[in-house]
Amino acid sequence: MIELSLHILDIVENSTRAGAKRVYIDIIEDTRRDLLSIEIRDNGSGMSEDVLKKAMDPFFTTKTVRDVGLGLPMLAHAAEKTGGRFIIESKGEEGTRVVAEFKLSHIDRQPLGNIASTLVTLVVGNTDIDFIYRHRHNDQEYILDTRAIKKEMGDLPIDDVKVLTFTRKHVEEGLKNIGTEA
């Protein structure tokens, strides 16, 4: 994957398949600490200890459509090659937490990519899931919470074109206002 937003999409797809009803996506860009951190947490079914041990094996997957599970190992490799680190924690029936930290200025760090498109894609494909996206850039913060959007829009479904257009613009303007690269 050439952009970190595609890794986010892949990891959150795992969350949705695990039955998550709420997914938290936290991004921190801290230029003072030269850190880019991506954390994804969910309240899905989680993984057993046995599955968690195998999760970083590229030849292991719980998906039935392919024989390899490259998403987590590729994200871990992307983080580690920039001098960062990768953490995965999971507990059956409690959910999963994935953290990828990157050296922000590292020449091999993948660009963050189009976060607005990623979030809209997640919303369109998972209308029954609540997404809470928080992006901090130094001392500035932007938050998108689909629960608030659903409440504000009333009878209009969250996957209505007008709502999706609003969501995309909200994300783009919010990220611009905090001075992020996305």
Per-residue pLDDT of the chain (182 residues; tens, 9 = 90+): 689 999 999 999 989 999 999 999 999 999 999 999 999 999 999 988 888 887 777 665 655 444 444 688 899 999 999 999 999 999 888 999 999 999 999 999 999 999 999 999 999 999 999 999 999 999 999 999 999 999 988 889 999 999 999 999 999 999 999 998 65
Whole-number Å distance between alpha carbons of 160 and 173? 20
For residue 129, give the DSSP letter: S
> Is 83 part of a structural domain of the chain?
yes
Question: Which residue intervals of the chain are DSSP H helices?
Answer: 4-17, 49-54, 71-80, 115-125, 146-153, 161-177
pLDDT given for residue 60 in this prediction? 58
Residue 99: predicted pLDDT: 98
Q: What's the pLDDT score for residue 58?
A: 67
- Is 13 within a domain? yes
Give a yes or no: residue 160 inside a domain: yes
Q: Which two tokens stand for residue 6?
A: 């595609």
What pLDDT was estimated at residue 42? Answer: 97
Q: Is residue 182 part of a domain?
A: no
Q: Residue 61: which domain range?
A: 4-177
- What's the pLDDT score for residue 66? 44
Q: Return the CATH number at 87.
A: 3.30.565.10
Task: Please indicate, yes or no, if residue 133 is contained in any of the structural domains.
Answer: yes
Whole-prediction pTM: 0.91
* Residue 56: predicted pLDDT: 79
Task: Let me know the angle formed at the C-alpha of 25 by 127 and 1, rounded to the nearest 5 degrees.
Answer: 95
Long-range contacts of 41-44 (CB under 8 A, 24+ apart): 41/95, 41/96, 41/97, 41/98, 42/12, 42/15, 42/18, 42/95, 42/96, 43/94, 43/95, 44/15, 44/16, 44/17, 44/18, 44/19, 44/20, 44/95, 44/96
Decide if 118 is inside a domain: yes
When divided into structural domains, the chain yields a total of 1
